[in-house]
Homo-oligomer: A and B are copies of this chain.
Amino acid sequence: MPNAPVISEHRWNHLTAPELRALAARDAVVLLPVGSTEQHGAHLPTGVDDFLAAEVCRRAAALADPVPVVVAPSVWCGLAEHHMPFGGTLTLSLPTLHALLRDVCGSVLRAGFRRILLVNGHGGNVTALKALVDELTSELSAPLAVTSYFTVGRQALADVLETQDHLMHACEGETSMSLAAFPALVREQELPEAVGPVISLQSEDTSPVYRSVPFDTVTANGTAGDARGATAAKGERMLDGCARALSDLLRAGIWPPSEDR
């Protein structure tokens, strides 16, 4: 049964066209991870936000039974202009991200799926993705939805984190999850220096004014929060918690029947 393990992985690009047609016919939900490829201090690889969003999606898909779920390839480049001064960072303009999501989501719809949930992994994408979901819902006449894995898993993260209560950047949370999911990519020898200022979640920022703040004015080493106490065990609990929260959401249903067409 060579297909079984593949189908259990729920990954669009691991599936064949006939298998995807069958999933569309079952009205599967398509998760589209949206990450970023950007500096994460000296201890984490630049792909962290992309890797973690995709990891949570794959775990959630495996837990979502009986809801059929497909995980699309991840959009690994987001809005990271504020990280450009550190080097190693790739960024899109807002119109390019708009065009890319329009074409990818449009293709998903043409492939017969109707339910698309963007699952974001990068703080800098949060507001833009909400604005683009508004825009694309109208352009594509399809009820897109968006969450961030750290929003749907807000409580699960807070339950584990010791030095913070929400995700920051290259912090205890992201570093622990990296140690759980791709330990070889964490430069552990750099961890003793992996500490920076505390920052709030953009989506929970209570400062009345929003400005685009270059991240090098926030932290000299590219880290926000304190990664020194990161462990793989914490990371595993966080990944599992976020995935469970997302799969619960999928089972509970995101789209009311009246809007689902």
**Quick check: is A175 within 8 A (CB to CB) of the other chain?**
no
> Which residues of chain B have C-beta atoms less than 8 A from A145's C-beta?
209-211
Cβ–Cβ contact A138 & B212, under 8 A: yes
How many residues of chain A are within 8 Å of chain B by beta carbon? 103
Stretch from A61-69, A123-131, A160-168, A224-232 forming part of the interface with B: A123-131
> Which residues of chain B have C-beta atoms less than 8 A from A18's C-beta?
42, 87-88
Cβ–Cβ contact B94 & A184, under 8 A: no
Whether A130 contacts B16 in the complex (CB less than 8 A), given A73-B76, A186-B2, comes out as no
Cβ–Cβ contact B95 & A185, under 8 A: no
Cβ–Cβ contact A184 & B5, under 8 A: yes
Give 1 or 0 for each of A175-207: 1 = CB within 8 Å of chain B CB: 000000000111111100000000000000000
**Quick check: is A135 within 8 A (CB to CB) of the other chain?**
yes
A219, B108: Cα distance in complex, Å: 22
Give 1 or 0 for each of A1-41: 1 = CB within 8 Å of chain B CB: 01101100001111111111100100000000000011111
A208, B84: Cα distance in complex, Å: 29
Cβ–Cβ contact A133 & B208, under 8 A: no
5 example contacts (A-B, Cβ-Cβ < 8 A) are as follows: A15-B45, A16-B44, A72-B90, A151-B208, A217-B258
Seen from chain A, the residues whose Cβ lies within 8 Å of a Cβ on chain B are 2-3, 5-6, 11-21, 24, 37-47, 50-51, 72-73, 76-77, 79, 81-82, 84, 86-96, 98-100, 102-104, 107-108, 110-112, 117, 124, 127-135, 137-138, 143-147, 151-152, 154, 184-190, 208-214, 217, 222, 245, 249, 254-256, 258-259
